[in-house]
Amino acid sequence: MNNLIAFFKRFRVFLLFALLQVFSLTLYINYLTFPRNQYLTTASSFTGKILEIENDLTKHFNLSKNNQALQEENIRLRRKLKQSLYQVEGKYLKVDDTLFKQQYTYLPATVINSSVSKRNNYFTLNVGRKQGVYKGLGVFSDKGVVGIIHNSGEHYSVVKTVLTKDINIDVSIDPKGLFGLLKWNGADPKRGSIYGISNDLSIKKRSKVITKGGSGIFPRGLLIGSVEKIKPIAGEPQWEVIVKFAENFSTLQRVYVVKNLLMKEQKKIENQVPNNEE
Amino acid sequence: MNTLFKNIARFILLALFQVLVFNQLELGYGIHIMIYPLFIMLLPFEMGIISLLSLAFLMGFLVDIFSNTYGLHASSLLMMTYFRPRIFKMFSPIDGYDPIKEPTFFDMGIRWFLSTFAYLLLIHHFWYFLIEIFRFNEIFSILIKTSLSFMFSIGLSIVIQQLLYKKVKRQ
C-alpha cells in the first residue's frame, strides 16, 4: 500500500497530465464520430449568444456584397412571379393549384460563426429547434449548397459543411446526369472532388454540378459548382472530378435551411427494401 | 494579489481575443493563429506544474467550446504545459530564476523569451495539426501548417504582450 502511494506521489504530475490528455482526446475523437453531445459546442445557447453578438459587430464587413447577391436572387424569383409572366390563355392559369404539393420548405438563417481553414469546418446558424431545425436538414445559400445540420440546440445549430472530410453529398454533373459523391480533401476551401464516376465516360470542363436529390435532403438541381479538372485515379477505373465551388464560404452570411416535408414517407418506403445480407 | 488579478485579466482577454478575433480570421494556406498559449507562458515561475496543468485544461477547453473542436485545443495546450518546466530549466540562468521577475520579454529579455516560447509554441502547434490531420502521408502539410501558423502566432504574441503589459502598468 505504501509503495502504491509512493508511486502515485512520484508520478502524480505525469498521471494528471495523462488523465487530462486522454480525457480531451477521447472527447475530440468521440465528437468526430458520434456527435451526440451538444452542450459544449457552439450550438449551446451561451456560446451561441456570444458569437451572435460578435457577428452583429462584424457582419457589416461584407454587407454590400451580400446585399447584391440577395438582390440578384430576388430578381431571379421575381421573374417567376405571376405578374411578370405573359398570360397566353386565361383558363390555363390557375392560382389555387392542386397539381402540385409543397415538398420543400425553406427557412432563412444567418451564419454567426464559420471557419474554412480547418480539416473539418463547421458553421453555426442562428436558428435552432425552436424554429424546427433538427439534425439532417440541408443548408444552402443563393449560390450553392453549404452543408447538412449536424446538431441543433434550442436557438442555434451547427452545420457540417461541404468542407468536412466525410460529407458525401450525392451530386450529378448536369448535361449528362452522371452521378457521383462529393467529398473534400481537406486543403482547398474553393475546390472539392467527386468520386464514383467511371472513367469510360467523358466529362466536359465547366459543366455544372448540381445536387442529385436522391437522399431527399436537398431538392434536385441546387447548384454546387462547376467542373474544373478531371483526373484519373491510379489503379481504379474512375475519374476524380475537381469541382470549383460556386459559393465563397469565407464570406458567407445568409443561408437557407431546407426541409423535405415528404422525407418520412421516402424513408419509410426505402426501409421496406430488404437488406442485402450475405 | 496583484499577480492573481493580472493573470485573471490575461486569461479573459486572451480567451476573448482568440475566440472573437483570431478564430474568425481566415488567412488561407491553412494558417490558424493561436495566441492563447501565451497565457500559460506568462504564469509565474514558481507556480506548480499541477496548477499549471489544470489551468491549461481550463483555457484549452474554453477555446474548444467556441470553435467546435471539442478537446483538440485542450490537448495541445496540455502538451505544451507539460514541457514548460523542462524548457524553462533548459534556458535557466546560472543562479536560477528570480521570483520577482515574470516570464515576459520585458523582464527576461527578448532572447530568452523568444527561445523558450518558440520551443513551447512549436510543441503546441505541431501537436495541434498532427491530431487535427492525423495522417502520416500528409506529414508535409502538417509541417507547412505548423510553421506558417507558428510564425504568425509568435509575432502576434509579442505584439499583444506589449499591449497587455503597458495596460497593466498604467493601472
Return the SS3 of A148. strand
Asked whether B56 and B80 are in contact (CB, 8 A), the reply is: yes
Least confident of A32-36, A56-60, A108-112, B145-149: A32-36
pLDDT attached to residue B171: 46
pLDDT attached to residue A148: 92
Within 13-52 of B, beta carbons closer than 8 Å to A belong to: 19-20, 23-24, 26-32, 49-50
Residue contact A27–B65, C-beta within 8 A: no
A-B CB pairs within 8 A amount to: 91
Model confidence pLDDT, tens digit, residues B64-118: 888 888 889 999 999 999 999 999 988 888 888 887 888 887 888 888 888 899 9
| Chain B residue nearest residue A50, CA to CA | B20
Model confidence pLDDT, tens digit, residues B8-59: 988 998 998 898 888 887 777 778 899 999 999 989 888 888 999 999 999 9
How far apart (Å, rounded) are the C-alpha atoms in residues A229 and A201? Answer: 14
- Looking at the whole model, is its pTM more than 0.95? no
| Chain A residue nearest residue B134, CA to CA | A119
ipTM of the complex: 0.84
Within 105-164 of B, beta carbons closer than 8 Å to A belong to: 131-133, 141
Model confidence pLDDT, tens digit, residues A38-61: 566 667 777 778 888 878 877 777
pLDDT attached to residue A92: 47
- Chain A contact for B97, CB < 8 A? no
3-state DSSP percent of chain B in helix, strand and coil, to 5: 70, 0, 30
| Chain A residue nearest residue B22, CA to CA | A115
- Chain B contact for A70, CB < 8 A? no
Asked whether A146 and A164 are in contact (CB, 8 A), the reply is: no
pLDDT attached to residue B58: 92
pLDDT attached to residue B166: 62
Q: What ranges in A121-229 are assigned the alpha helix state H?
A: none
Of B60, B65, B141, the CB nearest to A40: B65
Mean pLDDT of B148-162: 89
Residue contact B132–A13, C-beta within 8 A: no
| Vertex A232 angle, CA A219 and A221, to 5° | 10
- Chain B contact for A23, CB < 8 A? yes
pLDDT band for position A93 (50/70/90)? very low
Of B31, B65, B70, the CB nearest to A47: B65
Model confidence pLDDT, tens digit, residues A175-209: 778 888 998 887 788 889 998 888 888 888 888 89
Q: What is the percent of chain A with per-residue pLDDT over 90, rounded to a whole number?
A: 9
Residues of B in Cβ contact (< 8 Å) with A42: 65-68
Burial B115-129 (b: 16+ CB within 10 A, else e): ebbebbbbbbbbbbb
Residues of B in Cβ contact (< 8 Å) with A114: 24
